Amino acid sequence: MFLGGGFLPYVLLVMVPGLVLSLFAAYRVRSTYSKWSKVDSGISMNAFDFARYLLNSQGLTDVKIEPVPGQLTDHYDPRSKVLRVSSAVAAQGAGWAPGYADARPHLSVASVAVIAHEVGHAAQHRSGDPQMALRQLIVPVASIGSTLAPWLVIIGVILKLTGVAVVGLVFFAAAVVFTFVTLPVEFGASRRALAYVEPLGLTGERADGARSVLRAAGWTYVAAALTALLTFLYYVSLVFGSRR
């Protein structure tokens, strides 16, 4: 990986900027989520009932809901039409929590935003959103690009097999395209999410909180896209620099 262009250029051009972007995005999303997970949304439902309510309100009655372990692991799986709610989000609507006025289940602003975002993805899938369709189309190639491509580039550079290295570049380019196609898909789901929750009472400060959570989550995808692009450009310099 470091041959041809040298280790120092890789550190300065890829590792440092990529690490800074990733750390900033991770800090932003976790700190924002933590802040708004302590603020009551005013919605007296548990996470699964709320997800079902939003799905049904959008005509997505065929989408199933399942729990998934972890925090910020919520996602919509278009292949099986399943919306998965993380244990952290589900716990916030499981019953009474300190600071709430009564013992009924309540959801935090952060949980409402996260669930509504995933419902947004389900709605994108149902409507045939072109960006989402494109993302799903390139998933197999992108998966190869993020795992096998770097090794093809390294082998091609070391053994002077330019054709092998170029194949690696093509596969990695697909992974880069995937990260950039993901951006409008994620931002589009966030716009839908805000439209879903505002009529339910998330206005004013609560709406600002939901917007902050979704914006912070969006930064993780921006960071991933920029890091992938920087890595791709470095691989290009390795492959074609090694031919001199």
**Residue 68: closest CA among 53, 55, 44, 51:** 51
Cβ-contact 120, 196 below 8 angstroms = yes
Query: Which tokens belong to 242?
Result: 């090694």
Of residues 169, 170, 154, the one with CA closest to residue 2: 154
Compute the distance between CA of residue 185 and CA of residue 6 in angstroms, rounded to an integer: 36
Query: Quick check: is 118 catalytic?
Result: yes
Q: Give which of 159, 144, 172, 166 is closest to 3, Cα–Cα.
A: 159
Helix, strand or coil, per DSSP, at residue 174 = helix
Of these residues, 66, 118, 198, 205, which one is catalytic?
118
Strand order in the sheet with 82-86: 64-68, 82-86, 75-77
> Which run of H or of E encompasses 68?
strand 64-68
Element (H, E) at 142: helix 130-147
**Residue 58 tokens, joined:** 């959008």
> What contacts 139, CB < 8 A, 6 or more positions away?
178
Cα four-point dihedral sign 9, 147, 176, 63? negative
Active site residues: 118
